């Protein structure tokens, strides 16, 4: 009854084509890229402007209907799965870049803009939006804000939070909140912008984003460094980072990750058991090539076998495509996988990588470790071919989380807690912090209707 009333009101105010209860629309909104079970919403709503979102939240609040925001559904923690049914609030049609200001070096956009499109638009004005999740050709800026997404370039440039100057957020009360500013500096009041960044759609729905941009680097050099041992590659990461050079990316692929993408349009040299994708940026290519030589020298004692610098933009792109394919390509090795994204302090990278392999072996599971090794953020995958192994995967995941926390790390570096890591959150936060999280949630969403069942 309440759902029919909601549908009627949304159609009347936002147009016939703004809602659907067709089975294919509900099914498409039921699942993301996590390993979490799908759950169907009862209705999907595609707002086109902030006022539509405001209205939808106001109606859901009044009618007691759960509402789950979603972007491109590339999330890896189940955050956009509508576990309590209700309304799926699909932000993908709010996809306009509203402004790119060269003078202020800011971009203003709606949340449904694809991240890669924003980057390209900035580049046409010699500006640079650095956060580069490997899903950038599909994911939305709103989803990135909600997850505080990172990417390979976070090593040098930081994560989404470091670029969000201000937000417009629709609240469950039906109000529209503006946070932050358009200047680099600004400390008036509490930092509400930071509160919403990374809140995984549980505190409010982001309807507009103001991002700071940087000057586009003049030169970029990308190279693949292959090693004959995983331990060597891990030690090379530490040697590079402590050697006074800060590449913009330092991405690791272990032997399993290499096996998943080797030969599929990109060939690794024989004997490669691990690889690092190193990217440097700066003023000129010759200077960067010298830096690359110096960096390779630092890696030489650690089983370095081969250094290949990309000779053209096409080669660079090719290398990054191989990296971006890893997540999905792993499924060709085993039909099932559970993928985690723990992060550890830099001093613990070597130990963490070794202990992941030990955890896999102890539970009879194939592991793949790849990702943003330079900032300690490791995408650990447990791969298996039979659902009977699921209990072993659960035990291995718990061991991974315990190991990570014992090393002073965090259960999620960038994918968020969502559903997938909800049970582990208390281990990291402790009672006082968790209590404050609950108080904040109930202040902004007293009926618990916004993205229910997630995070806490
Ligand atoms: C192949 C692959 C590679 C990936 N690589 C990376 C990576 O390198 N780094 C990284 O950080 N992540 C990565 N991810 C994960 C994912 O792409 C990011 O988490 C991304 O930010 C999700 O964006 P989305 O638009 O798909 O959001 P969705 O998956 O649709 O939603 C994610 C969360 O954001 C909330 N949400 C969405 N839009 C809004 C909004 N407007 N307001 C409030 N809440 C909202 C949802 O409720 C949900 O909780 C990868 C995923 C894949 C499949």
Sheet holding 87-90, edge to edge: 19-20, 43-45, 87-90, 67-70
Helix (H) or strand (E) run with residue 7 in it:
helix 2-14
Confidence band (pLDDT; 50, 70, 90) for 115? very high
Question: How many Cβ atoms from other residues are within 10 Å of residue 18's Cβ?
Answer: 19
Fold match between 2-92 and 334-436? no
Pairing of strands 67-70, 87-90: parallel
Which residue's C-alpha comes closest to atom 35 of ligand 1? 201
CB of 32 closer than 6 A to ligand 1?
yes
Sheet holding 106-109, edge to edge: 97-101, 106-109, 205-212, 164-170, 176-180
Confidence band (pLDDT; 50, 70, 90) for 401? very high
* Closest atom of ligand 1 relative to the 144 alpha carbon: 21
Asked if 100 and 80 touch (Cβ cutoff 8 Å), the reply is no
* Closest atom of ligand 1 relative to the 142 alpha carbon: 41
**CATH tag, 2-92:** 3.30.43.10
| pLDDT tens string 134-152 | 999 999 999 999 999 999 9
| pLDDT tens string 200-253 | 999 999 999 999 999 999 999 999 999 999 999 999 999 999 988 899 999 999
| pLDDT tens string 153-203 | 999 999 999 999 999 999 999 999 999 999 999 999 999 999 999 999 999
**CATH tag, 96-215:** 3.30.465.10
For a mutational test of ligand 1's pocket, the pick from 76, 145, 150, 179, i.e. the residue with the most ligand atoms closer than 8 A to its C-beta, is: 76
Which alpha helices (H) appear in 185-332, and where do they start and end? Answer: 192-196, 230-241, 255-261, 285-299, 313-329
Which residue's C-alpha comes closest to atom 5 of ligand 1? 134
CATH class of the domain whose range is 218-327: alpha beta
| pLDDT tens string 281-320 | 999 999 999 999 999 999 999 999 999 999 999 999 988 8
CB of 453 closer than 6 A to ligand 1?
no
| pLDDT tens string 350-361 | 899 999 999 999
Confidence band (pLDDT; 50, 70, 90) for 400? very high
Q: pTM for the complete prediction?
A: 0.96
CB of 412 closer than 6 A to ligand 1?
no
Q: What is the pLDDT of residue 245?
A: 87
CB of 419 closer than 6 A to ligand 1?
no
pLDDT at 324 over 90: no
Q: What is the pLDDT of residue 264?
A: 80
Give me the residue spans of the domains in the chain. Answer: 2-92, 96-215, 218-327, 334-436
Q: What is the pLDDT of residue 206?
A: 98
**CATH tag, 334-436:** 3.30.70.2740
Which residue's C-alpha comes closest to atom 50 of ligand 1? 135
């Amino acid at each position: 009854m309440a759902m029919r009333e909601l549908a009627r009101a949304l159609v009347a105010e936002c147009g016939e084509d703004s809602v659907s209860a067709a089975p294919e629309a509900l099914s498409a909104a039921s699942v993301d890229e996590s390993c979490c079970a799908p759950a169907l919403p009862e209705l999907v709503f595609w707002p086109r402007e902030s006022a539509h979102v405001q209205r939808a939240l106001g109606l859901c609040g009044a009618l007691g209907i759960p509402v789950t925001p979603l972007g491109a559904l590339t999330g890896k923690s189940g955050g956009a799965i509508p576990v309590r049914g209700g309304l799926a609030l699909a932000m993908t049609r709010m996809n306009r870049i509203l402004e790119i200001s060269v003078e202020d070096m800011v971009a203003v956009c709606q949340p449904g803009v694809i991240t890669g499109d924003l980057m390209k638009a900035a580049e046409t004005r010699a500006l640079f939006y650095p956060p580069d999740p490997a899903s950038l050709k599909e994911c939305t800026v709103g989803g990135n804000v909600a997850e505080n997404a990172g990417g390979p370039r976070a090593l040098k440039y930081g994560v989404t939070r470091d670029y969000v100057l201000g937000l417009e957020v629709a609240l469950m009360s039906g109000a529209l909140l503006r946070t932050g500013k358009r200047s680099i500096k600004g400390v008036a009041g509490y930092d509400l912008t930071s509160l919403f960044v990374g809140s995984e759609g549980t505190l409010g729905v982001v309807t507009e984003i103001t991002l700071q941009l940087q000057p586009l680097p003049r030169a970029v050099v990308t190279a693949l460094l292959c090693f004959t041992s995983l331990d060597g590659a891990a030690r090379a990461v530490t040697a590079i980072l402590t050697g006074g050079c800060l590449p913009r990316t330092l991405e690791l692929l272990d032997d399993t990750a290499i096996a998943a993408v080797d030969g599929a349009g990109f060939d690794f040299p024989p004997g490669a058991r691990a690889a690092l994708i190193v990217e440097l940026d700066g003023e000129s290519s010759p200077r960067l090539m010298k830096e690359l030589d110096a960096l390779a020298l630092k890696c030489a004692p650690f089983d370095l076998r081969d250094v290949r610098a990309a000779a053209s933009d096409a080669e660079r792109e090719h290398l990054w495509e191989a990296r971006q394919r890893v997540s999905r390509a792993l499924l060709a090795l085993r039909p099932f996988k559970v993928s985690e994204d723990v992060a550890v302090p830099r001093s613990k990278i070597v130990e963490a990588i070794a202990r992941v392999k030990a955890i896999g072996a102890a539970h009879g599971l194939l592991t793949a470790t790849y990702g943003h090794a330079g900032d300690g953020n490791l995408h650990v995958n447990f791969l298996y071919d039979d659902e009977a192994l699921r209990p072993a995967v659960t035990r291995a995941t718990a061991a991974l989380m315990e190991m990570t926390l014992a090393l002073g790390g965090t259960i999620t570096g960038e994918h968020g807690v969502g559903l997938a890591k909800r049970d582990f959150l208390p281990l990291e936060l402790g009672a006082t912090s968790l209590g404050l999280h609950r108080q904040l949630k109930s202040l902004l969403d007293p009926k618990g209707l916004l993205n229910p069942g997630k995070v806490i």
